[in-house]
A and B are shown apart, each in its own frame.
Chain A
Amino acid sequence: MDFAGAYTWVNIKFLLEGFGVTLQVAFFAIILSFFIAGAVGTVRYAKVPILSQVFAVLVETIRNLPLLLIILFTFFALPEIGISMEKIPAAIVALTIFEAAMISEIIRSGLNSIDKGQIEAGRSSGLSNFQTLRYIVLPQALRRMVPPLVSQFISLLKDTSLCVIISLPELTHHAQVIYGQNSGYLAPILLFIAFMYFAVNYTLSVISRRLEVKKFNPPGSDSVSRIFPLYS
């Protein structure tokens, strides 16, 4: 183990570059998947005939597959049917497909968590179905969705490490490049990247918990952890 040799400025700079790619890929994937998931979750919540059944099958299939398989599939199998992508777009597409399925479930259960009386009250006071969704259900549901969404984003940041399998130049891959030159760097570099992931993810989780306690859980409201007991 060679800590002093491993933690040179050149190596740390290289790792930070990798972390930049990690954040970039995670950022684009979360934005894209949020919009796709919003559409899918709303369609399933509104029980649009046929479409919602099709989405249900898709979401359940994707959710039950390992992300690693989806990444490999996107990068190595899709070219066989004429869809080839560079590493970064392929990583973003694979992560988006997986995360969209996960987030659509968060959105659907968030919408479902709003009391039916709210919808009935909205409809009886003359709002249309769409207006009730837009002005009554969504504003309440979105607040409840924030903590599980942050959680999912943390998962996504961790999951970008799986893209080493397609040699995406992200943090874990750059770590591999460094300890590939000198096996004495193995433990120091792996510890270092673990702390980098930890620093960002822990900060996010602390922010999310603050939000959950202070803003989104006024006394008497349903606790978020009761509505989303499963998010991790």
Chain B
Amino acid sequence: MDFSILTNNIDMFLEGLKNTIIASLIALICSLVLGILIAIFRIAPFKPINWLGTAYVEFIRNIPLLVIAFFIFLVFRIPGLAAGTMALTIYTAAFIAEAIRAGIQSVPKGQMEAARSSGLTYPQAMWNIILPQAIKIVIPPLGNQFINLVKNSSIIAVIAGGELMYQGDLISARTFVVFDTYIFVAMFYLVLTIPLSLGVGQLEKRLAKNN
């Protein structure tokens, strides 16, 4: 291992790490908002809106993230990092919407019926009875989506977005030391993803115990 690659280019690595974290966090927050909105669309008791939500989820889930990123980057001419963050948001929102919908629908129907018969309105029943139960089921898959988000942010490198993978590419092109550079890039990714994975695993165990 040639550690001088790391020490000589540490500011580039850190710049990349910073951009990866920023892109992931912004995409996480935006995709949560968008995902919740689409999940509401999907379970709303009104067919055309339902259909809109389903169309979004099914279309986005079944096409590559890279194609979405290329589309935003090339057709709308948005700079790499911003285009990548938008693509990540659009893509991840579909998965988050699915996770939330599955969580809400996994709460037995009787709960909603009981709440409605005891005089609560639909929003009240949803907010006070269904959501608190659904959230337990939804949290672990959401955590996994966040890990995927961090990993997927690497595609921003393909549209010159300046994140970790892109910086790694630049460093390897400049120093001609590809192997070691990529190993260091891998380590930076693992520093981000392994704690997240362990956290999600821990959370899953605790939630499983509570049931």
Given contacts A66-B165, A229-B102, A77 and B151 within 8 Å (CB-CB): no
Q: Which of B74, B157, B168, B179 contacts A80 (CB 8 A)?
A: B179
Question: With the chains together, A197 CA to B98 CA distance in Å?
Answer: 20
Which of B64, B70, B137, B153 lies at the interface centre, i.e. has the most chain A CB atoms within 10 A of its CB?
B64
Question: With the chains together, A191 CA to B70 CA distance in Å?
Answer: 11
Point out the residues of chain B lying under 8 angstroms from A193, CB to CB: 67
Looking at chain A, what size class is its interface with the partner chain?
35 or more
Q: Which of B61, B158, B190 contacts A68 (CB 8 A)?
A: B158
A201 within 8 A of B: yes
Main secondary structure of the interface of B (DSSP, over half): helix
Min CB distance A94 to B, Å, is: 12
| Beta-carbon contact of A69 and B75 below 8 Å | no
A194 within 8 A of B: yes
Binds B, one of A57-65, A85-93, A129-137: A57-65
Q: Which of A60, A161, A165 contacts B197 (CB 8 A)?
A: A60
Chain B 36-90 interface residues, beta-carbon cutoff 8 Å to A: 58-59, 61-68, 70-71, 74-75
Question: With the chains together, A229 CA to B211 CA distance in Å?
Answer: 15
Q: Which of A162, A164, A190, A232 contacts B141 (CB 8 A)?
A: A232
Given contacts A194-B63, A198-B62, A162 and B155 within 8 Å (CB-CB): yes
| Beta-carbon contact of B182 and A73 below 8 Å | yes
| Beta-carbon contact of A161 and B74 below 8 Å | no
B114 within 8 A of A: no
B140 within 8 A of A: yes
Q: Which residue of B lies closest to A232 (CB)?
A: B95
| Beta-carbon contact of A190 and B66 below 8 Å | no
Min CB distance A147 to B, Å, is: 13
Chain B 90-128 interface residues, beta-carbon cutoff 8 Å to A: 95, 98-99, 102, 106
Min CB distance B63 to A, Å, is: 5
| Beta-carbon contact of B169 and A72 below 8 Å | yes
Min CB distance A149 to B, Å, is: 16
| Beta-carbon contact of A165 and B158 below 8 Å | yes
Min CB distance A6 to B, Å, is: 13
| Beta-carbon contact of A64 and B62 below 8 Å | no
A67 within 8 A of B: yes
| Beta-carbon contact of A194 and B67 below 8 Å | yes
| Beta-carbon contact of B67 and A190 below 8 Å | yes
Question: With the chains together, A194 CA to B62 CA distance in Å?
Answer: 9
CB within 8 Å of A: which residues of B?
58-59, 61-68, 70-71, 74-75, 95, 98-99, 102, 106, 137, 140-141, 144-145, 147-148, 151-155, 157-158, 165, 168-169, 172, 177-179, 182-183, 185-186, 189-190, 193-194, 197
CB within 8 Å of B: which residues of A?
60-61, 63-69, 72-73, 76-78, 80-81, 154, 158-159, 161-162, 164-165, 172, 179, 186-187, 190-191, 193-194, 197-198, 201-202, 205, 225-226, 229-230, 232
Listed A/B pairs (11) with beta-carbon separation below 8 Å? A64-B147, A65-B186, A65-B193, A67-B154, A72-B165, A158-B63, A172-B66, A172-B67, A172-B70, A179-B74, A232-B98
Q: Can you name 8 extra interface pairs (CB under 8 A) apart from A190-B74, A197-B64?
A: A60-B197, A66-B153, A68-B165, A186-B75, A190-B67, A194-B67, A197-B62, A229-B137
